[in-house]
Structure 1
Amino acid sequence: MPKRILVTGGAGFLGSHLCERLLAEGCEVLCVDNFFSSSRRNVIHLLDNRRFEILRHDVTSPLHVEVDEIYNLACPASPFHYQSDPVQTTKTSVMGAINMLGLAKRLGVKILQASTSEVYGDPVVHPQTEDYWGNVNPIGLRSCYDEGKRCAETLFFDYIRQYRLPAKVVRIFNTYGPRMQPDDGRVVSNFAIQALTGNDITIHGDGSQTRSFCYVDEIIEAMIRMMATPPAQTGPINIGNPAEITILELAEAVIELTGSASAIRFMPLPSDDPKQRQPDVSRAKAELGWEPRIPLREGLLRTIAYFDDLLRSQ
């Protein structure tokens, strides 16, 4: 019998790639999404697969299904989306975690939480290791996401300790690739759309802030490897690309790869925007045998091609 796997947030950027990969491995997949920041377009190519099922549902309400594993990805992940309804964002992270952990406890199944590098806030430790507690503003504009994810991690580890639940946590750093929403406000999608349409590329701040970008396929591989580990292997584990790049360098790379004549325009830096972000992935290498291998240039070319096709089809 194939495993029946629940993916919350399954129609989102990461979730759709995870559903696709699990189907390719022969699993049955129940994709749950409320479509707040996702799109049916991301999973429309999966609808004809008899092992794929999609359910419109908000994880802030309990879910009564029978599954063998749970990947909890539900939560808007871009500042544009999660700040548009911050109360709902916090509810999704916290109440969603409570509901999915309760389901996993009832069924006695493994559950994996897609946490985030945002739990480190604007870090004073660089690169960020899993034992760093972070530097987070608890009352800022980004707090609904940052603190919501931190609370979800707390719940996961309390369920591990109190109920011996086979739960796992991965902290996902900046990820990019096809199926990012064109209007999500993330830097890669912003730059790609602006360059392809010939508009100015807008950089917040002076462009010296750094990020580390990992291609989506590699993040999915790490998540699947983490789920396959023994119950005692709980994490948290950083997954991301340690190759650091400035935002200005990223903008210049996108202009080059698109052949765009876009100019670069600088704008004020948003509140609490991290100045640097780079994962230490030593634990992922040691425990999962995983490290990213797809160069940024190759991943950007794939992502730009996706957005180019998307713009041409509109």
Structure 2
Amino acid sequence: MKITVLGAGAWGTALAIAAAANGEAHEVRLWARNPDQLADMRQQRENRRYLPGAPFPERLQVLEAGLAELPALLAADDLVVIATPMAALRDMLTLLRASPAPVVWLCKGFERADGAGIGLLGHEICAEVAPGLQAGALSGPSFAKEVAAGRPTALVAASDSVLLRERLVQAFHGQSLRVYANDDLIGVEVGGAVKNVMAIATGLCDGLDLGLNARAALITRGLAEIARLGQALGARSETFMGLSGLGDLVLTATGDLSRNRQVGLLLAQGLSLQQAVDSLGHVAEGVYSAHTVAQRARALGIEMPITDAVVALLDGRLQPADAVTVLMGRDPVAELH
């Protein structure tokens, strides 16, 4: 297969490494918007900026090209992977709207809403700007560092397109990386987006040293919020018990490599939101997605108290210790409510 990964952050780089190491028949290219980064990766055979210590396999090429050149250069590809942050997905899908190759995105979250609009998930953006694409998402519980190192990982390939699901399995499924197909793209995307918000809450819980009981309760109730929103948007309930639901939530909420969890931990230490974000050096999608999650839940009449508390915390309307008081002081409800 001929595969191009557009975006050389940690996760895009890790998957490019995994694909290049997965089969002798794969020709894999990695592209970044920054020409200086491209030149450094080509020379060093490593992404020293975002994934240091993970050398490139021999079959991984660095694609040095301008943004406008990409559609022509990707015309003969079997699979195009968009590995940019959520904020750039709309522009990349617009650029690739006539792509003959299936296109998949890795980013998890909601597009930030402007003005009176609402933030959209990836498949909703694609429907607006590139409705003819065979498109989908590759998601699941995964840290880039572990994937690049060949640690055992399982992902889910989500799309309405059978061809795209098959291409994703062919590209990435191997000895250390398992890929499961799922046609519930809405559920996979909701799980991947909202778990980032829940990870901020869990980081806060752990940073305040509230204990393991509190962590377990928060993760469980967080999963209930994710499922409520997802089903209201048209997802299947069983998806949230899979890799992109429960799996991704547990990893992101408890793993110390999680940037969203780190935001919660830093807020618990008394840092401002700006200080917490600046200290990470990478995007924490939950910071940008939380408001949109709450907005869409309100529009659908869905109660998401943990999400609402995270939004109030990020806005500075609620202090870390007060967030616990707000959640514990809610009126009792049935567990499955």
TM-score band w.r.t. shorter chain: 0.3 to 0.5
Larger radius of gyration: 2
Could you say which structure has the greater relative contact order, defined with CA pairs below 8 angstroms and 6 or more residues apart? 1
What is the TM-score normalised by the length of structure 2?
Answer: 0.43
